[in-house]
Structure 1
Amino acid sequence: MTAGIDMAAGRTERARSRSRFIGLGAVALVVVYLAANLGVAHGSYYVQNLAEVGAVFAILALSLDLVAGMTGLYSLGHAGLFALGAYATTLLNANLGWNVFILLPLSVVGVGIVGVVLGALSLRVSGLYFAIMTFIFTLVVTVLISDLDFTGGLQGIAGPTFPDFPEGLSFLGSSVAWCVGIAFLVTVVIVWSIRSSAFYPVLLAIRDAEPFAASAGVRTGVVRVMMFGLSAALAGLAGWAFSFLGFVSPGQFNWTVSVNILVMVILGGINTRLGPIIGAIFISAFPVVISIDPLVQEVIFGAIFVLVIVFFPRGIVGIVTSLARRIRRRPLPATEPSAPDTAPIAEAELAAAGEEPQVSDEIALEVRDVRFGYVRGTTVLDGIDMRVRRGSIHGLIGPNGSGKSTLVNLISGALRPTTGTIEANGHRIERLGAAGRPARGIMRTFQTAVLVRELSVRQNAGIGLYSRVPRISGRSLAWPLFPSAHRDDRAIRTRATAALARVGLGSGWATARVADVPHGVEQLTQLAAATVGEPSILILDEPLAGLSSGEVEQVSEILRQLKRDGVTVIVVEHQTRFIFEMCDEVTVLAAGELVTSGSAAAVRADERVREVYLGQ
């Protein structure tokens, strides 16, 4: 006992030391950056202009990477958002005399609101159509600022003058250089804070494994819109800073600028910390440092971009990261997971302690007269009734096309029934979306493991705690500054590690990327993610698919332990032997209708089941 306490205290102290080290490192980086910015502020006009333009486009690249890299939304509307920030600052200062410091929050918030509206409208479509919608937005903005008289038309308008430092601070040099430099620093802090937070794996789950994210309680559509709004706000910040660099004209914000921002992100390395910054510096500095024919310049840009897309899709930073990963690659554990390290009660101990826990007569989940059809006039499920007792393992079987997956999607919230009711833990849930089900104690897995392949096994398991961590999205904007965030980080890691251990994945697997692990580990990882939040009802959709006999036995033991813990488990599976041996009760569907439901023994003996399913 004492040794265990000492080990836990040691881990806590090491975590605190690591946090202090990271904090000191971050402070040191900020000091170095401010010192470099002081040098730029005292540099020549050429140096200042080069650094300021590079910083503005780095802000734009980072803002685009927030949505393109983290949520998979490839926007071509950032040039239009950029223009709104620049023109709003310029026109309100020139025509109404508003102070530039008052215009800062107005530009950021105002363009952010435009981004939320644009995102809400554009996200009704996805992929290429989203890019086209945002591209049209940039075209409309460009046409308006080109044709309206008060914007200066094609000639543009002179930007506002940023106030100089007071005499006592004149040693700091150019005030514009500090304005742009601090805007860039704020952007870096926000983006890097999000990447360091517990919200970052959730964003990648929305991008790569949306059903998984929704099953963990994430309102994926809302998060996408809000992230696009934040990205737009940062584009507005870039526009505000850019307005102080000289003239503001339509040619600086046309559709090619949107494409160039996207090229910056992809060239440097999409969804990397430094990639968008490196890409922005290269694209903005190249034509200034290397003065060549514009046509040749565009050809060179195009050739570089094609080479990166074809051979190095993760960009410059991706190349370096891949090389570093190969150098320090460690061998993975044995391909077949070991038995659970922390099974609370062994079989012998359970027998000595008494009998298996009795299944309660209380109903945990009840489906009443549910009907559903994907197309009007076509019925997939017709009048389904199912009652699942609390603390039981309930099997759901039927031939292919019987409606099992549809019923599971109705229970988990991915679909809504046409008629009928679904009640879980005493609450009606049939109109509740998938993201609202975890709050009612419902979690699920999928036929094919839906996970974020670039994240570690432990990070994927931790996503299942999303609904258990308060204000995770809001705090992510300044995650390292919150003491509660550090506590939540440690708690998520601890609980995710424990959940992995319960399903037989020891510490050797925790840090392995999902992309590098075998199929059986993927299946057990999604089981850990579904159980880490301690749900009262767990739905397993074909948990044995592709597993070896040893892994099947391991899953069987996990289900027995879940039953001992009082979890209600619903299992959809084609292996009837497993179902009848493991389950207390079984429901059988055929052609969208209920065949029978009852104890496993009674269902196995039912002649109709033998006829429609077992083929006997």
Structure 2
Amino acid sequence: MTSPATALNRSRWSRLTSYGLLALVVAYLAGTAGVAHGSGYTQSLILQAAIFGMLAVSLDLVAGMTGLYSLGHAGLFALGAYATTLLNQAGWNMFLLLPVSIVGVGVIGAILGMLSLRVSGLYFAIMTFIFTLVVNVLLSDLKFTGGLNGIAGPIFPDLPAGLQFFGSGLVWVVALLLLITLVVVWGMRSSAMYPVLLAIRDAEPFAAANGVRTAATKVGLFALSAGIAGMAGWAFSFLGYISPGQFTWTFSVNILVMVIFGGINTRLGPLIGAAFVSAFPVVIQIDPLVQELIFGLIFLLVIVFFPGGVVGLVSRAWRRFTTSPHHPPAPAGASAAEPVGLGELPTDGAVARTSTSRPDDYVLECSAITFGYVRGTKALEDVELRVRRGTVHGLIGPNGSGKSTLVNLISGALKPDSGTITVRGDHIERLGAAARPARGIMRTFQTAVLVKELPVRENVTIGLYHRTRNIAARSLIWPLLPGSLREHREMRAASDAALRDAGLPAGWGGARVADVPHGVEQLTQLAAARVGRPDILILDEPLAGLSVGEVEQVADIVNELRDQGVTVIIVEHQTHFIFSVCDDVTVIAAGQLVTSGAATEVRENERVREVYLGQ
């Protein structure tokens, strides 16, 4: 329950935020009015910077949030400009052409994204680079585009007589388009979708395991970015002549320079970079070749010495002068603990639980599972696994036995060559990883796969993705939706509760994952899986690198989950832990089932001792 003091502080902060936003809007309108009444030279310079700002923001949307470095934005920009000009000459209304440019170029961007996103990294950049080259060649060779000479863009009409005191109508329209772009993109950065997008960029398996359709999300984001580039092209067409020479591959590189120079994945960085690139040729009026050399040298210096760009440099200086060292308290039992060894199969201390289940008690069944990474070589062959509802099921075996492969098949990261996987009787073997959380399956990974630059708390909120209604679509207008701030606070509160349940003190919630120890990372991904309220939770080597105290913590969490009715599957090498907490244990070796049954029975199995320990 929120205390009166907390509610009062939130009310004051809300008022201050509202006043701040109002002041920014007033300043923005005043600046626009000043430009609208300025000289033609000033208007031309500011309009170009604003249009380049839209382009830079659109590229940062995909490069900063999902790590897709596109060199195709010059081609998308050109399509918006040429489509506006040619269709206006054919009699289309220029204002009708604005949504046409946005949607049309957005659709082309979606198609380009679907083709290009089959690859990643350098190959993605090359494919989008080729797209820009093809567009430029077509614009240069086709007669109706004017060839290399280009064509005159449409003339933007003057405002009606009663509104001419506002000044240039084009300035106001471009300012409005830039503002809309910033509201959409900054709104996404403030939404609950932002950590998800960074997870797609830095921890894609983690995102998929929490229900994110990563490929579709990338295509959708690239389409949105392309639509903004098309909108910028619409505005650019009114600045005079347009020609293929304005949309070459070098301009694609310049857009990327804007983003990196200002600060990739920052709110103001792309705008600062766009302003710099627009103003540089005006301020440094020297030989074009020397100008390019100086420009390139500045860019190289930024990359080498200030990779975070201008905004990153300012932010780092600000943190140095305003923050003091802060060390959150360690998780319970972590300080004086010593690492846990693998040890032998325990001869006593195993949980004395026996299986009295009926066939309809099995929540998860894997039948005759066969899978091979390489044709002719089987990582798993005819493996059977049946997991009872509301129990803790251990999966053990020597290194290379196929344990992680089986876990990846159950969680959807892989698909079996043959065999079936059913959850409560429903076949899921052909469903992808993103569809598994909706079936109640969540998982962790051997090595914590998290977003390093985000706080621990924000990483845990990613586990709520599949439980949050239409989070991707709503992120476009997140700050404008009633209740969105409340919902975001509730998600963070749920994350904090999950972290407490994982035994992490409150101080760790705000710490960046890049700054926390390994044990906290492991417990963070456990909290992220738990906050999604799974029916079946798969823990893949959850004890790797943990101290004795942290291992006891995990054991307490597993027992608590069992008491809550959650089915837990644990893959682990620490056999003492497995036989201490598990109801049932399955042993596989060399991709084949050795035995499966109650923990007490498996512990005494001579075949298990022979295969697992070589005795």
2-side partners of 1:226 and 1:447: how far apart?
30
Query: Residues 500 and 528 of structure 1 are in contact (CA less than 8 Å); yes or no, is this contact kept in structure 2?
Result: yes
Alignment of 1:437-586 (within 5 A): 437-586=436-585
CA distance in 1, matches of 2:502, 2:226: 42
Give the residue type in structure 2 aligned to 1:495.
A
Summarize the alignment of residues 398-409 of structure 1 with structure 2, pairs less than 5 Å apart.
Answer: 398-409=397-408
Which position in structure 2 is the counterpart of 1:278?
A: 272
User: Per-residue deviation at 1:601?
Assistant: 1.0
Aligned partner of 2:50: which letter? A
In structure 2, relative to structure 1, the CA distance for the partners of 1:521 and 1:383 (3 Å cut) is same
Contact 1:332 1:512 in 2 (8 A): no
RMSD across aligned positions (CA): 1.7
Q: Where does residue 36 of structure 1 map in the other structure?
A: 31
Q: Is the 8 A contact 2:61 2:185 kept in 1?
A: yes
The structural deviation recorded for 1:359 is 8.9
Letter in 2 for 1:236: G
- CA distance in structure 2 between the aligned counterparts of 1:483 and 1:287, rounded to whole angstroms: 45
Correspondence 1:206-217 to 2 at 5 A: 206-217=200-211
Stretches of 4+ moved more than 6 A in 1? 355-360
Q: What secondary structure, in the 3-state scheme, does the structure 1 residue paired with 2:183 have?
A: helix
Q: 1:360 to 1:284 in 2, by over 3 A?
A: farther
Q: CA–CA distance in 2 between the matches of 1:28 and 1:317?
A: 22
Separation in structure 2 between the aligned mates of residue 248 and residue 613 of structure 1, nearest angstrom: 72
Q: Deviations over 1:514-572 (max 9, x none)?
A: 11111111110000000001111000000000111111111111111111111110000
- Please tell me the residue identity of whatever aligns with 1:441: G
Answer yes or no: is the 8 Å Cα contact 2:202–2:450 preserved in 1: yes
2:195 maps to 1:201: yes
Equivalent positions of 1:575-614 (< 5 A) are 575-614=574-613
Residues 1:254 and 2:272 aligned together: no
CA distance 1:393–1:12, shift in 2 (3 Å): farther
1:84 counterpart = 2:84? no
Three-state SS of the structure 1 residue aligned to 2:95 is: helix
TM-superposition CA deviations, 1:377-429 (whole Å, max 9, x none): 22110011111111111100000110000000000000001111111133211
2:66 is the counterpart of 1:66: no
CA offset digits 1:559-613 (Å, max 9, x no partner) = 1111111111000001111111111110001000000001111111101100010
State whether structure 2 residue 435 is matched by structure 1 residue 436: yes
Q: Distance in 2 between matches of 1:418 and 1:526?
A: 29
**Residue ranges of structure 1 left out of the alignment (5+ in a row):** 341-354
Distance 1:85 1:338, change over 3 A: same
**1:168-212 per-position Cα deviation (integer Å, ceiling 9, x unaligned):** 111110111112211111111111011111000000000000000
Q: C-alpha offsets along residues 462-518 of structure 1, whole Å, 9 cap, x if unaligned?
A: 000000111111111110011132232011011001000100112111111111111
* Aligned partner letter, 2:426: H
Instruction: State whether structure 2 residue 289 is matched by structure 1 residue 295.
Output: yes
Question: In structure 1, what residue type is equivalent to 2:168?
Answer: S
Match of 2:537, SS state, is strand
Contact 1:359 1:390 in 2 (8 A): no
Matches of 2:18 and 2:180 in 1, distance apart? 16
In 1, distance between residues paired with 2:290 and 2:397?
64
Q: What CA deviation, in whole Å up to 9, does each residue of 1:16-64 have, x standing for no partner? A: 5434433442232122111100000001111111100000101000000
The count of corresponding residues between Structure 1 and Structure 2 is 596
* Pair 1:228 & 2:222 matched: yes
Amino acid at match of 1:237: M
**Contact 1:215-1:435 within 8 A present in 2 as well:** yes
Q: Which residue of 2 aligns with 1:21?
A: 16
Residue 357 of structure 1 and its aligned partner are, at CA, apart by 14
Change (3 A) 1:38 1:360: farther
Q: Name the CA distance, whole Å, in 1 between partners of 2:313 and 2:424.
A: 51
Q: Distance in 1 between matches of 2:160 and 2:274?
A: 32
Where 2:483 maps in the other structure, the secondary structure is helix
CA contact (8 A) 1:357 1:564 kept: no
Structure 2 match to 1:343: none
| Separation in 2, partners of 1:237, 1:122 | 22
Cα pair 1:332 1:509 within 8 Å, conserved = no
Could you tell me how far apart the structure 2 residues matched to 1:34 and 1:373 are? Answer: 63
Structure 1 residue 335: deviation in Å?
A: 6.0
Whether 2:181 is the aligned partner of 1:187: answer: yes
- Give the match's secondary structure for 1:483: coil
Provide the residue aligned with 1:93 in structure 2: 88
Residue deviations 1:229-284, cap 9 Å, x none? Answer: 00000000000000001111111101110000001100100000000100010011
In structure 2, the partner of 1:365 is 364
Is the contact between residue 462 and residue 529 of structure 1 (CA under 8 Å) also seen in structure 2? yes
- Separation in structure 2 between the aligned mates of residue 487 and residue 426 of structure 1, nearest angstrom: 38
* 1:351 alignment partner in structure 2: none
2:432 corresponds to which letter in structure 1? G
Show structure 2 runs of 5+ residues with no match. Answer: 335-351
Between 477-486 and 194-203, report the one with greater CA deviation: 477-486
Q: Distance in 1 between matches of 2:7 and 2:487?
A: 13
CA shift at 1:339, angstroms? 6.8
Q: One-letter code of the match for 2:131?
A: F
Matched-pair contact (CA < 8 Å) for 1:336–1:551: no
> Structure 1 334/24 Cα, relative in aligned 2: closer, same or farther at 3 Å?
closer
What is the identity, as a one-letter code, of the residue corresponding to 2:32? Answer: N
